[in-house]
Amino acid sequence: MARIVALVVFQTFAAVVPSICLAAPSTIREMVVAVQEAERTIPADKRNPAVAVELQRAIDVLTSAGVLDEEIETFFRRTEARDAQTLARRRQDRRVAGLSRAIDTVKEIINNNLADAKAITPEVRRTFTEWEDVERKSALQFNLETLRKLEVKYGPNSAKLNGLEVVLAYALQRTPGFGVGRDGPGRFEAVAAYAPTYISRSDKKVRIVGVAEIGLRQYIFKPGWGKQTGRWAWLKPSYTSYGVAWSGRSDDPMRPPWQGASRAGAFFGWGEMKVAWLAGDDQRILVTQQFQLIPWAF
């Protein structure tokens, strides 16, 4: 009986260990060495000496940066990820900026020279497939994140723009921070609105005051913000806004801000909730909730 148990354990161990070894992550060294060895198998009459030079140059860059023993996924995350921390590291260490180009050279040799010469070995295929898997996962994650940001800025929970703001959004679409760029939508929008429903108290009476707003709207792209519903949804809105508040002299609604001796101050919005301050001898603190009485107008 003991021999049978020992035999079962041995057979299980023999079956599992190779699978674990095959699943072990590959390193950059394994990939470039496999490419180098495969390139040398190309017949002399089909080899391009310049390719070997470029490959060796790329390997030298990777060697000098000390990344050959990094796992493929670790290397990819550190050099290819689109994030501020990675960009900061690139500025601090100039060698890192050349790593992407070095790995691109290796990939070009695989896709062009080795593929054309039918010299792609199983080892090249294995390591390169692992790189492509990491690349695809990163691209999918980036695309999903971009779609999430687009929904925050242009989806049903975004701010309702008036006609002038729509024109400004179109005019600023090529301005960094406003339009949609390589990394998704910019977080800013221009605010140029007239809000006739600010509420203030004057002479022991509650008054409705019309206030013009000129400033910026800044969307919050943090996961979970702008998604809440219910009474506590205001704690995590999808955007904030701030800028100059401008009103006419009187506290009457629907009065042009340039009428009489104008008053100016500032406004700040936390989602749909907004507060404004008008300076001058007759200072005012006003509050309102953002909505449009007339669609596309105010």
Instruction: Determine how many CB atoms are found less than 10 A away from the CB of residue 260.
Output: 12
- Same domain for 248 and 225: yes
Instruction: Please give the tally of structural domains in the chain.
Output: 2
* Residue span of the structural domain in which 119 resides: 21-150
Q: Is residue 111 part of a domain?
A: yes
Instruction: Determine how many CB atoms are found less than 10 A away from the CB of residue 212.
Output: 21
- Please report the pLDDT score of residue 97 as a whole number: 57
Q: Is residue 66 part of a domain?
A: yes
Among 128, 150, 172, identify where a domain stops: 150
Q: How many CA atoms lie within 13 A of 11 on its CB side?
A: 6
Cα radius of gyration (the chain): 31
- Same domain for 136 and 190: no
- Please report the pLDDT score of residue 95 as a whole number: 47
- Same domain for 145 and 33: yes
- Same domain for 129 and 56: yes
CA distances for 91 relative to 76, 82, 87, 88, angstroms: 17, 14, 6, 5
Below-70 pLDDT ranges, the chain: 1-23, 80-97, 203, 230, 293, 296, 298
**Is the CB of residue 239 less than 8 Å from the CB of residue 271?**
yes
Q: Is residue 100 part of a domain?
A: yes
**Is the CB of residue 158 less than 8 Å from the CB of residue 238?**
yes
Q: Is residue 228 part of a domain?
A: yes
- Please report the pLDDT score of residue 85 as a whole number: 42
Tell me if the pTM is above 0.85. Answer: no
Q: Is residue 8 part of a domain?
A: no
